Amino acid sequence: MPLLRDTARPKVLVPEKLSPDGLALLRTSLEVDERRGLSADDLLQIIPDYEALLVRSETKVTATVLQAARRLKVVARAGVGVDNVDVEAATKLGIVVVNSPSGNIGAAAEHTIALMMAMARKIPEGCATLKDGKWERSKFVGVEVKGKTLSIIGLGKVGLTVARLAKGLGMAVNAMDPYASPAVAASASVTLVSSLPELLASADFLTIHTPLIASTRGMIAEAELAQMKPGARILNVARGGTIDEAALLASLESGHLAGAAVDVFTTEPPAADSTAAKLIAHPRAVVTPHLGASTVEAQENVSVDVCEQVLEILKGSLPRSAVNAPLILPEEYQKLQPFVRLVEKLGSLYTHYYASAPGGSMTRNTFDLIYQGEVASISNTKPLFAALIKGLLAPISSSEGININIVNAELVAKERGVFVSEQHSRDPSDQSSSYSSLVTLVARPPSRASSRARGEKAEAAPPQPQRVISGTCSGGEPLITRLGRFEASFAPEGTLLICENYDSPGKIGVVGSILGREGVNINFMTVAAVSPKLASGEADEPNPSKDGGTAEAAAVKDGPVSTEALMILGIDRVVGQQIATDLVKEGGVLSARAVSL
């Protein structure tokens, strides 16, 4: 049961402090709910009511929260690190996760330099004692950074900015990052080293700027700290968990390390009696409560960046920095949009007409999706693939909320065992129609192995018929041009009744009167004849009613194939199976299938 909402506008939940600049953009079209101080339970209770969730690093967006979030389309992280968001669960649920990959890198890099200088010159200690009424000059003799070596783990956006700033301070900078570009490193006069021991041994100051991922969790522990020079100093403005807090505390306590500057902790805020709390209390530790991104400028940047993306996503467009969706340029997406709708219709027409109709079956799981003409020149067809998976599976998915989209289509297809081979045919002679673009969906007959797996005997295997649907975009709207052997021309919209019949006089009148009797209005009707190119060639899907139809049907069923036709009626409401049965029994049609598209 959807919750009652006091507004028709989509709702955005903002449980953390975000700069008002971005939120003002949202307020023009969305309802923005700023709710700071929510507990995990509170969040779970209220999340079903929201279309978008905007967070920083404090809110834990767990799989449980995401599963409860029935309306949620997007989780926006106003910052870089998404380690507080279960991105895998969001992907499965088709929820887009976006971040702001560069809005706060300057702030994080400057904070790193600020902590390094504060640690080198003992600024926090000098400041605290002076405020305490003491004038202690000889106790706080520091070291200079000029001429010292700064070693960086992770030469990404923050790491590189730190490197450039450190160069300006006269430091020698080296870095270890298996994925860094040597050219980029050289342009910042950074020496890339390939081994961590080499990097550790050279460091006067060591700073980490990697994400918290499996390969970086605990990467600096007791053994690594022991490889550093006595009197070296260490910084962490990336993520708690990359440095083992207990090992770091021990190294400070033993006097091996001269200092540590830490902005991020394994658990935030750290528990009172935790190792992190002891680290914070250590006299040679300079600490800040995750302030790396906390500047007015950075907060404006990230807020505007993610709020713009939330608006795009709720409009149905693609964001510029999705963490879990492929990158598509806006102009490319615009070109694709009509074909996205067409391909989704091809998929849902397939499932309604061939697979979920009485007598049909979902035994085919391997599809060819063939692009011909102008559409074949589009190279990034991920949205088309996603549209096909949605079209094929949404009609047979139990939950109304199943959200198949560009984010999770590949995963859903894999889970359901659906395989799609996309083919681009740019050769004009290969295009069997006069349309400037044509998209064809072919369901491959089941392989012998899969037929055997379903217990069908090889000798009893029926001939494998064609299941083909083609379409184009006409005036930006989807148009079906082929259904099985029939050359058609109809819009795949609304409720359609598709009747296969022998093309004999009076058939339309009989069908019309049966529908009229049931109170069904016909909005439009079109007839599709067997394509001359296909009449003598491929067999079509066997018609479940052919053997059990009317006397007339029986009389003509061995007649020439070319007399068969499809009658496609657009009707004003969804009809039950009984009407289809009546049309076969009384109306003399071979089969009738209602499809809702």
Ligand X SMILES: O=C(O)C(=O)COP(=O)(O)O
Ligand Y SMILES: NC(=O)C1=CN([C@@H]2O[C@H](COP(=O)(O)OP(=O)(O)OC[C@H]3O[C@@H](n4cnc5c(N)ncnc54)[C@H](O)[C@@H]3O)[C@@H](O)[C@H]2O)C=CC1
Footprint on this chain of ligand Y (rule: CB under 6 A): 79-81, 104-105, 108, 153-159, 176-180, 209-212, 215-216, 237-239, 263-264, 290, 292-293
User: Quick check: is 290 catalytic?
Assistant: yes
User: Quick check: is 256 catalytic?
Assistant: no
CB of 79 to ligand Y, least distance (A): 6
Question: What token pair was written down for 288?
Answer: 């800040």
Residue 83 vs 368, nearer CB to ligand Y: 83
CB of 101 to ligand Y, least distance (A): 6
In angstroms, rounded to a whole number, what is the distance separating the alpha carbons of residues 503 and 226? 88
Residues 6 or more apart whose CB falls under 8 angstroms from that of 142 comprise 120, 121, 122
Question: What token pair was written down for 415?
Answer: 């889970």
CB of 292 to ligand X, least distance (A): 6
Binding partner at 56 among ligand X, ligand Y, none, C-beta below 5 to 8 Å by kind: ligand X
SS3 488: strand
311, amino acid identity:
L
Identified catalytic residue from 77, 290, 341, 482? 290
Binding partner at 11 among ligand X, ligand Y, none, C-beta below 5 to 8 Å by kind: none
Residue 78 vs 357, nearer CB to ligand Y: 78
CB of 217 to ligand Y, least distance (A): 10
User: Quick check: is 268 catalytic?
Assistant: yes
Binding partner at 216 among ligand X, ligand Y, none, C-beta below 5 to 8 Å by kind: ligand Y
Which helix (H) or strand (E) covers residue 413, if one does? Answer: helix 409-416
Q: Is 537 exposed, middle or buried (0-12, 13-18, 19+ CB in 10 A)?
A: exposed
CB of 123 to ligand Y, least distance (A): 19
**Residue written as token pair 């600096």:** 220
Identified catalytic residue from 56, 77, 239, 467? 239
Burial 465-504 (b: 16+ CB within 10 A, else e): bebbbbbbbeeeebbbbbbbbbbbebbbeebbbbbbbbee
Question: What token pair was written down for 122?
Answer: 């003992």
Residue 78 vs 258, nearer CB to ligand X: 78
12, amino acid identity:
V
Alpha-helical runs (H) found in 502-576: 507-517, 532-535, 551-556
Residue 176 vs 336, nearer CB to ligand Y: 176
393, amino acid identity:
L
Q: Are 549 and 584 in contact (CB under 8 A)?
A: yes
Binding partner at 155 among ligand Y, ligand X, none, C-beta below 5 to 8 Å by kind: ligand Y
In angstroms, rounded to a whole number, what is the distance separating the alpha carbons of residues 407 and 386? 8
CB of 78 to ligand X, least distance (A): 6
Binding partner at 65 among ligand Y, ligand X, none, C-beta below 5 to 8 Å by kind: none
Residue 106 vs 587, nearer CB to ligand X: 106
- The residue ranges that bind ligand X (CB under 6 A) are 56-57, 78-81, 104, 290, 292-294
Identified catalytic residue from 88, 198, 268, 297? 268
In angstroms, rounded to a whole number, what is the distance separating the alpha carbons of residues 7 and 49? 11
Residue 82 vs 571, nearer CB to ligand Y: 82
Binding partner at 210 among ligand X, ligand Y, none, C-beta below 5 to 8 Å by kind: ligand Y
Q: CA distances (Å), 544 to each of 294, 469, 589, in order?
A: 68, 19, 12
For the annotated catalytic residues, the residue numbers are 239, 268, 290
